[in-house]
Amino acid sequence: MRKIYIFDTTLRDGEQSPGVNLNTKEKLEIAHQLERLGIDRMEAGFPAASPGDLAAVNAVARAVKHATVVGLSRARIPDIDAAYEALKDAQDPCLHLFLASSPIHRQYKLRMSKEEMLQTAEDAIKYARKYFSKVEFSPEDAGRTELDFLCQVTEMAIKAGASVVNIPDTVGYLTPYEYGNIFKTLKENVPGIERIQLSAHCHDDLGMATANALAAVLNGADQIEGTINGIGERAGNTAIEEVALALETRQDFFQAKTSLVLSEIARTSRLVSKLTGMVVPGNKAIVGANAFAHESGIHQDGMLKEKTTYEIISPETIGLKESTLVLGKHSGRHAFREKLQDLGYELDEEQVNAAFSKFKDLADKKKEVSDEDIRAFIEEKLVETEEEFKLETIYVSYGNQSTPSAKVRIVTLQGEVLEQEAEGNGSVDAIYNAIDKATGEDVVLSDYSIKSVTHGKDAQGEVHVVMNQHDVAVLGRGVSTDILEASARAYIDALNRLIEKRSSVSSTRRDKISLI
């Protein structure tokens, strides 16, 4: 059974999704979970983009022990030097170089001839090999590059010292037949092709990213690049979980599989969704809420008689479990600890105590605490970290014949108590006006969304806000059974992130660059 390597770019291409901005702590949390998932290679970021991104890549490089850590670089010496600085502490570093190769990119973006493109790429690869034993080269927009020229580019990369050549369908333009044919042609016509690995990087602009990636596997690709939940630039990337389960479920057809720990897929998906604020659609393959739900009477009848009548994948395969252990306000610490273990969480004593306290508070508000409820507050911060502002109390006055007002009490990191009251067009607006007055921050709320974390009248609500201050944008999250409290917590969370980001990159503006 041929092994397919998995190259995860959630921390780089995934973070290029509009509105997503992960701080270093969040990148580290995702990186550790990707290790548990068994990712072979993870692209931690683009070090030359900003000092902040360089520092984040370096933090991931130092923390990751069981996967190759990759840094992205343009075919420029300063970029390569920045990547070396970021990755020098990694146990297994790799540089990912790219330079566009298609006619449209050569003419309008690079303003280079074929010969100039080849020479620039060759010089960059040779320079990179002085510092990196592993170099992956990507001819950006390979999918729209002349096939004979792509063969030349690949041959050049092999001779220059690349260990992996990636073939990106940068704009999601190709059909599976066309994309697969590129790999077949390279395998048959490029001298020395057996000395390297060929990689597939697909975008989902026409909804064919997963199909194209699998077509590449059928035609000799050794590595698939993608992201968790398929997030990424524009319509996103190949969803790693879809490729992994397709290869696992149809081993008879593909004769290839990954070495991922499939039971970690659901947990990884939830974490990425939580930290990026990108909600997984209910009908999303493999990890959507409805992926293992059956409503039709005919389907239910079939499932009761034999699950495989309507399920080709069992929920246990990706780490989902049904539990009959009901938790409520009378449950003790021992039962709660057993539930945490059953859900796959390994927490230290301090985290268990913090989680148990949150559980007791929630159990007083709900008749029954579900698995989803537990996941919601476990995946929030369990141990309080130092934050500039902490919401202590909130009071809201509302009537349909009066102007809504809110009063908030906020405690600063230095222990100062801030109390303010304000009116607004609605209860949430009043709360946010009061917080603005208390903190003295001048911000613009550019997005506000609510979703139900659990079910029923006493369900927990999750609020996401996007806040802007000048050219800085941040995301905030808050969870509570009271949607007004969740709204306030999300706003305070965003303010704290804004202050953290403002202090760490006060002299640097992070520009998201559209890359492969």
| CA torsion angle 239 242 247 249 (round to 10) | 170
Q: Would 430 be classed as within a structural domain?
A: yes
What is residue 512's predicted lDDT score, i.e. its pLDDT? 44
If asked whether residues 496 and 413 sit together in one domain, one would say: yes
Give me the mean pLDDT over the 14-37 stretch: 91
Residue 265 and residue 121 share a domain: yes
What is this structure's pTM?
Answer: 0.75
Nearest of 474, 350, 496 to residue 411 by alpha carbon: 496
Do 337 and 418 share a domain, yes or no? no
Q: Which tens digits make up the pLDDT trace of 329-370?
A: 666 676 677 777 777 677 788 888 888 887 777 777 766 676
Inside any domain, residue 325: no
In a domain, 369, yes or no: yes
Tell me the C-alpha distance between 107 and 110, whole Å.
6
- 343 with 481, same domain: the answer is no
Both 355 and 465 in one domain: the answer is no
CA triplet 173, 175, 180: central angle to 5 degrees?
115
Model pLDDT for residues 306-327, shown as the tens digit of each residue: 777 878 888 899 998 653 344 5
Q: Which residue range(s) make up the domain with 371?
A: 333-378
Question: What's the CATH code of the domain at 445?
Answer: 3.30.160.270
Q: How far apart are CA 39 and CA 227, in angstroms?
A: 11
Does 383 fall in a domain?
no
Does the pLDDT at position 516 exceed 60? no
DSSP, collapsed to helix, strand or coil, labels residue 42 as strand
Ranges 149-158, 338-347, 395-404, 503-512: which has the least confidence:
503-512
Distance, CA of 137 to CA of 386 (rounded, Å): 41
| Range of weakest confidence among 103-112, 252-261, 333-342, 396-405 | 333-342
Statement to judge: residues 314 and 271 lie in one domain: no
Question: Is residue 286 one of the residues assigned to a domain?
Answer: no
Q: Are strands 405-412 and 389-397 parallel, antiparallel or unpaired?
A: antiparallel
What's the pLDDT band for 514 if we cut at 50, 70, 90? very low
| 35-87 residue pLDDT tens | 999 999 999 999 999 999 999 999 999 999 999 999 999 999 999 999 999 99
Query: How many separate domains does the chain show?
Result: 4
150 and 26 in one domain?
A: yes
Inside any domain, residue 82: yes
Question: 347 in a domain, yes or no?
Answer: yes
Q: CATH code at 195?
A: 3.20.20.70
- Based on the fold, state whether residues 62 and 186 are members of the same structural domain: yes
Verify that 428 and 361 share a domain, yes or no. Answer: no
Residues 159-164 have a mean pLDDT of 98
Q: How far apart are CA 211 and CA 77, in angstroms?
A: 36
pLDDT digits (tens, 9 = 90+) for 433-477: 999 999 999 999 988 988 876 666 666 788 989 888 887 778 888
- Euclidean distance between CA atoms 19 and 277, whole angstroms: 8
Residue 515: inside a domain: no
| 181 and 136 housed in the same domain | yes
- Alpha-carbon distance 377 to 355, whole Å? 7
- Residue with more model confidence, 172 or 503: 172
- Same domain, yes or no, for 173 and 311? no
> Do residues 295 and 409 both lie within one domain?
no
152 and 190 Cβ atoms separated by less than 8 Å = no
